[in-house]
Amino acid sequence: MSGRLYLDGVSVVFDGFRALNNLSLIIEPGELRAIIGPNGAGKTTMMDIITGKTRPTAGVVQFDDHDLTRLDEAAIANLGIGRKFQKPTVFDALTVFENLELALKSPRDPWSCLRWVLGPDYQRRIEATLAEIGLAERAGDKAAILSHGQRQWLEIGMLLMQEPQLLLVDEPVAGMTDQETEHTAALLRRIAGQRSVVVVEHDLEFVRALGSKVTVLCEGSVLSEGSIDHVQNDPRVIEVYLGR
């Protein structure tokens, strides 16, 4: 499997303010990684750098042997790097199935329409995704009547239709019920493995449920890294983040 993300010495300076400061991080293919840290630590900026929305002031950002600092957002998406924003962009008037169908057709590259015409297996793929996101029973329902959590899963499903190799997810469980939060952790655990998944989240119960390696960002660089137990017991993490 390919899709190794490599950040080395990445800095981003906004008007003299260092949002990222010599950040180094490696995400292995198929890895699930949680990123935590105080407000303003640079978590979202890190995702902006990976997706080409923001350019680093210094440092290396590579996906396999692709230099992401030389590619625009569309080219980076074409490499198979998908991103989920907090606000879902599902179409209310369409059914769950139709939303996934639309995601399959919306081109990641100009040839995807052609593949769409040629590919007879789209129905099977949509069904597989419905099962993966736990919405098989809701396939015929309009997206408008889904709960907040279900809409978030549909959005993840729409990203999965594009077959990303790396999925970036920023604060997925904000506003979810406890049960939806648990379901989301299980979903992200399931979909990692076949692709890498990087999840930014403040909810530590959720991060624990992910069962993944955790990276703590602070002031734009890595403060601590390891299991949730390791970082929760790290005195530096307690001082700047958990102890507040």
Ligand X SMILES: Nc1ncnc2c1ncn2[C@@H]1O[C@H](COP(=O)(O)OP(=O)(O)OP(=O)(O)O)[C@@H](O)[C@H]1O
Q: Which residues bind ligand X (CB under 6 A)?
A: 14, 19, 37, 39-45
Residue 35 contacts residue 198 (beta carbons within 8 Å): yes
Residue 52, contacted partner among Mg ion, ligand X, none, CB below 5-8 A by kind = none
Q: What residues have CB less than 8 Å from 104, skipping those under 6 apart?
A: 116, 122, 125, 126, 161, 162
When CB distances are held under 5 to 8 angstroms depending on the partner's kind, the choice from ligand X, Mg ion, none that residue 45 binds is: ligand X
Report how far Cα 28 is from the mean position of its chain's Cα atoms. 14
Residues 1-60 that bind Mg ion (CB under 5 A): 43-44
Q: How far is the CB of 178 from Mg ion (least distance, A)?
A: 22
- Write down the least CB distance from residue 60 to ligand X, Å: 19
77 binds, among Mg ion, ligand X, none (CB under 5 to 8 A by kind): none
Q: 40 vs 1, 56, 213, 222, CA distance in Å?
A: 34, 17, 21, 13
Q: What backbone torsions phi and psi does residue 86 show, to the nearest 5 degrees?
A: -65, -40
Contact of residue 134 among ligand X, Mg ion, none (CB under 5-8 Å per partner type): none
- CB of 126: closest distance to ligand X in angstroms? 33
The DSSP 8-state label assigned to residue 56 in this structure reads -
Residues that bind Mg ion (CB under 5 A): 43-44
